[in-house]
Amino acid sequence: MKAAIVERPGELVVRDVPEPTINPWQALVQIKACSICNHTDAEIVAGRFGGSAWPLILGHESVGVVIRVGHRVSRYKVGDHVLRPGAMYNDPAVGIGSAWGGFAQLGVVGDTAAFLADNPAEKPHWSWEKQQIIPADIEPGEATAIITLKETLSVLKRVCPPGTPAVAIVGTGPVAQSFVFWARYLEVPTVAVFGRREQWRETVMARGATYYVVSGESTPPAAAARARGIGPFPCVIEAVGSTDALQTAVSLASPEGKVIPYGILPPVDAWPSLLQDAKQRGLIGTAPVDETITHDEVLHLVATGRVRLADWISHRLPLGRIHEGFRLLEKKQATKVVIEIPEEVG
C-alpha cells in the first residue's frame, strides 16, 4: 500500500509499505482522507517533534471506513466511518514507526473496552479512545475538520468557564480560527484576535471575532489593545506554537489571568527567561485536550447546520501531491489542506 513516509528529518516521500495487520482488539480501516496538521506535521517532517525512530508514517487527522474487525471487537462493525485511523504495525520487525499513520491507504483502530476486558493489567494504546465513530453521511474529506474542532472546543470549555468576559487569541491559522468560532459559540462577549498580517482580518471577523488587531515592532500587542480600549485579558490562547507568540500572549494577560499554549513549543528550559518566570508564577498554564468529551456536541452542530465542515477546508489534493500541500501551507496560500487517499491498494 502507499503511504507518506518521513524517511529522516527533512525527507518526506510517498512509497509502498507493508499493509498493517490487526490483533483481536483492532479493526482494519480503509483510510479515505487525512488533513495536514499545519504546525505539528511540519514539525514532525523537520524532525523537531517526537522521539520515534525513522522512518515513520505521518498523519493524525484521518477518516476512514472499517473493512475488517478482530474477533474480540465490539465497538466497531464493518462499514463504520471512524476518526483517526492510522497505519501502525504490531510487529516491530517491520521497521516503520508511526506518527499516527493517517497518510496511508490502510490503518487500524482499537477497541479499548474489549482490550481491557481481556487484559485488565495492561494499557491499550493511548490513541484508541480518540478513534470515534461518525455518521456515514459526512463526506470523509470534510470530516477531517471535526478533529480540530473537537479538540479546540474541549480546551476552551476548560479555560473559559461561563461568565468569562473576554478572551484573546494569538494567531490566525485554522486552530486560532477554531478558538474564535467556539468563543463566540460559548457567548464570550469580547473575542480579540492578534495577528501579524492584515490579510486575515476578514476571515477572523467572519469566524466571530469582535476585534482583529495587527501588531508589530512599532505597535506592540498590549499597546495596540489598549488603544482599542480592550485588555488586559483574563484568558489568552497561544495558537501558533512559538515562543514569540507565547511572549505576545503573556503581554496581553491580566496579572490574575491565564495564558494557555496550544501549539507545540520547545522544552521549557529553552524558553526565554521572561517566559520561564511567567510559567513559574503560574501565569502560563495548561489545558489538557480531550476531544472525546465534545464528540457528540460537535456532531450535533454539524447535523443541525451550525457547523459547516466545508468552511474549514481550503484545498484538497491527492496523496501523490502531499508536498504541494506543505508548500501551500508554508507560503500561507492555504489554511487547511485535505489529502485524499486512493482506494486501490498496491
Q: How many CB atoms lie within 10 A of CB 306?
A: 10
Position 213 scores a pLDDT of 95
Q: What was the pLDDT predicted at 322?
A: 98
Return the closest-CA partner of residue 89 out of 138, 8, 21.
21
- Separation between Cα atoms, residue 292 and residue 269, nearest integer Å: 31
Say how far apart CA 174 and CA 314 lie, in whole Å.
10
pLDDT at 217: 65
DSSP output for 275-332:
HHHHHHTTSB------GGGGHHHHHHHHHTTSS-GGGG--EEEEGGGHHHHHHHHHTT
Q: Which three cell numbers stand for residue 40?
A: 505539528
Res 202: pLDDT: 95
CA 315 to centroid of chain Cα atoms: 17
Separation of alpha carbons 302 and 154, rounded Å? 16
- The per-residue pLDDT for 343 is 82
Nearest Cα residue to 282 out of 262, 263, 255? 255
Could you give the residue ranges of the DSSP H alpha helices within the chain? Answer: 40-46, 112-118, 140-143, 145-159, 174-185, 201-207, 221-227, 243-252, 273-280, 295-303, 322-330
Query: In the 8-state DSSP scheme, what is residue 130?
Result: G
Supply the pTM of this predicted model. Answer: 0.94
**Cβ burial 92-123 (10 Å sphere, 16+ → b, else e):** eeeebbbbbbbbbbbbbbbbbebbeeeeeeee
- Taking the C-alpha atoms of residue 61 and residue 100, their distance in angstroms, rounded to an integer, is 9
Mean pLDDT per 10-residue segment, the chain (346 residues): 94 96 97 95 85 85 98 98 95 90 98 97 94 98 98 95 95 96 97 94 96 84 91 96 94 96 89 95 92 97 98 97 96 95 78
**pLDDT in the model for residue 265:** 87
Look at residue 287 in the predicted model and tell me its pLDDT.
83
81-83 and 61-69: which strand pairing? antiparallel
Q: Taking the CB of residue 179, how many other CB atoms lie within 10 A of it?
A: 29
Domains assigned to the chain:
2-144+313-340 (3.90.180.10), 148-280 (3.40.50.720)
pLDDT for the residue numbered 84: 98
Burial class (CB in 10 A: 0-12, 13-18, 19+), 255: exposed
